[in-house]
Amino acid sequence: MPHLPSLEKDTTIIVLGASGDLAKKKTFPSMMRLFLRNCLPKDLQIFGYARSKMTQEEFHERLSPFLPGTSEEKEGFLKICKYIVGSYDEDAAFQGLTKEIEAHETKNGGEDRNRLFYMALPPNVFTKVSAHLKKNCYSTNGTNRIVVEKPFGKDLDSCKEMIAAMKEIWTEQETFRIDHYLGKEMIKNIINFRFSNPTISESMSNKTVDNVQITFKEPFGTEGRGGYFDEFGIIRDIEQNHLCQVFCLMAMEEPKHFTAEAIRDAKVNVLKQTKTISTDDVLIGQYSAANGKPGYKDDDTVPKDSVTPTFAALVLHVDNERWKGVPFILKAGKALDEGKVDVRVQYKSPTSEHFKDDDRNELVIRIQPKEAIYLKSNVKIPGQNNGTVPVELDLTYSNRFTNDYIPEAYESLIYDCLRGDHANFVRDDELFASWSIFTPVLHAIDAGKVPVKPYAYGSHGPAELEEFIAKYGYKRMSNYEWSKTNVGELEKRLHRA
């Protein structure tokens, strides 16, 4: 796929679903950040389009609390944001939108008429709206791009059906499928970190690695989204997309070139080498009421017989020379004890007889909060004690990159889309390969063939979790606390032990 032109001028952005939460909380604030950094095309106009009846002033009032910057900066951004009311199923409504777009383009007087359509909409209207856009709003004198949000289907068949319907309307080159995790700074850093550092690159294989965990934890439940969430569950909502993307970047081979298509080729290759998930490699759970918080099925919108998991630990096995025998454990859950996302590469135990009881090394990539990369290593305790203690070799971004701006995920991806860079967007064959791995176990769960374990709101997850991850070789460190314990305190504890 050739590199697309960068849209630096003569561009209009149309946000479909502009009255919704996604547009209000993510899309428009991200464009505002680009506006503050002078990263938007020259003379850009943004049209918000939705069914909700609002005046221009009401639309601006709705957006303003979520926008960064001063009142004056917000005012400057909102001047280029215009709201249009229209339906999603009538040609006449989209033709009215086109008249507004063309009026701006004529006034602007640019040579090209580039249009970027951002679908901040539920997936059940993707195909219908995209067809109306192509028929009524497509520019014949410029570049057209369409941005589509996840979810991309519920299983392999529904994904293929959605992609096929969209491809009849928009080309793969024009389509940008967002998984916002690919815009996060620490995830974008994985390729650089792995392949620009020989010590890291050489250590990433079954010769040295025992297991890898990719973890997503939220300290809150579905909170008003129970009915929507119950259609998907935690695996479809988080693991098949977000965590699977992280898995690809951690497990793939070095791309032949560092171009968008070569990177996506490498991701597809490792997915094709990954075995279908077995029901024996899955632990699922549902949170119950505790600590004054309601349980999942206490939500009136959730069926009382629901088997939809709010927690899942599952294991991916890559059948290739590099990773054969190394389990990749993906864990995700709601209503847990903390909020975090990280990758934990646990190396094999020390081979030296003298140090065989020491803790394992761990390479940790903390994606959020407080981005960091640190390596847990064993060092000698200072003084007369010849014992060792685990400490971290720490790169915490906020400490090291004090003057560097780290963009939000959506901000990065909208900028990439404007530049025509597909590297951090999901390709169609990548989706098919991923769904092929997850679909059988999802169907088994939907059919009630996998037992759902209860866990208390605010806990670590199901009581069976520790035994489950231990089965795949993970050993919890016995003597380690992150950044809280100094060497003197550790030495006292060791002496007491």
Catalytic residues: 242
Amino acid, res. 371: E
Location of structure tokens 């530049």: 419
Determine contact, residues 180/320, Cβ cutoff 8 Å: no
Q: CA 428, CA 446: separation in Å to the nearest integer?
A: 25
Residue 268, classified by CB atoms within 10 Å of its CB into exposed (0-12), middle (13-18) or buried (19+), is buried
**Other beta carbons less than 10 A from residue 53's beta carbon:** 8
CA distances from 334 to 35, 301, 448 (A): 34, 17, 20
Residue 199 half-sphere exposure, CB side, CA atoms within 13 Å? 2
Q: CA 194, CA 258: separation in Å to the nearest integer?
A: 13
Residue 82, strand partner residues: 47
The H helix count followed by the E strand count for the chain is: 18, 15
Determine contact, residues 470/283, Cβ cutoff 8 Å: no
Determine contact, residues 111/10, Cβ cutoff 8 Å: yes
Determine contact, residues 360/349, Cβ cutoff 8 Å: yes
Angle (nearest 5°) at CA 57 between 35 and 47: 50
Q: CA 109, CA 113: separation in Å to the nearest integer?
A: 9
Q: Residue 128 contacts by C-beta under 8 Å, 6 or more apart in sequence?
A: 88, 89
Q: CA 207, CA 197: separation in Å to the nearest integer?
A: 17
Torsional sign, CA 33, 38, 13, 163:
negative
Residue 495 half-sphere exposure, CB side, CA atoms within 13 Å? 10
Location of structure tokens 């602007």: 108
Instruction: Estimate to the nearest angstrom the gap between the alpha carbon of 126 and the chain centroid.
Output: 20
